Amino acid sequence: MEILISIVMPAYNCEKYVVEAINSVLFQTHQNFELIVIDDGSKDNTVNLIEEMTKMDSRIKFYINKNNQGVAATRSRGVSLATGDWIAYLDSDDCWVKEKLEKQINCLNKTKGNFLFTGSSFMNENSELYKGILEVPEKVSYKELLKQNIISCSSVLIKKKYIEEYKMEKDETHEDFGSWLRILKVERYA
């Protein structure tokens, strides 16, 4: 059985990038997903662009926060709305290569893991790729992650139960980093 992946995309004033980000999901080789996009009080044309995209594909679920909640609360809301057992994150100014989900699922099938992440490449505001890739190790421990957050949120595929229990919290550092640390420390995972 093909797994359903719930993709959570917080959106805030991202009219320049959001269509490309959504398209990078729609063109995935793994097609069994739902894309949960939540606008967090955008003041630009983001909402209109996302509403147009929802007309193209019924797998796009669009929600609007009544008030600006911040990225951590918006991601947590997305997880609470998810129907899949697996969560992937994609920031509205990021894009995936078309095989991203398929390759991670293949890795899941081999390793039986519950928390996967990949390396990342970077692009400028014109979608031009920079040279080089941020390489990541095959595994990372809690102690290793304490030194530096090498887990890019937009690269993560994680079992929903972990991120429900160890929600992202608003803080002065990266909200995702705290969740990854709590998961690795308490679960003794990876």
- pLDDT per residue over 155-177, tens digit each? 999 999 999 998 888 766 678 88
Q: What would the pLDDT profile of 89-113 be if each residue is shown by its tens digit?
A: 999 999 999 999 999 999 998 988 8
Q: How confident is the model at residue 54 (pLDDT cuts 50, 70, 90)?
A: very high
* Among the listed residues 38, 79, 69, 73, the one whose alpha carbon sits nearest the alpha carbon of residue 168: 73
CATH of the domain at 12: 3.90.550.10
Confidence at 139, pLDDT banded by 50, 70, 90: confident
Q: Give me the pLDDT at residue 190, please.
A: 41
Percent of the chain with pLDDT over 70: 89
Q: How far apart are CA 90 and CA 95, in angstroms?
A: 7
pTM: 0.91
Task: Give the chain's domain count.
Answer: 1
**Where in the sequence is the domain holding 19, given as residue range(s)?**
5-187
Backbone angles phi, psi at 109, to 5 degrees: -65, -30
Instruction: Round to whole Å and give the CA distance between 101 and 33.
Output: 10
Chain mean pLDDT for the chain: 90
Residue 94 and residue 123: Cα distance in Å, rounded? 9
- Does 131 score more than 90 pLDDT? no
Q: Which two tokens stand for residue 83?
A: 């129907």
In the predicted structure, residue 137 carries a pLDDT above the cut 90: no
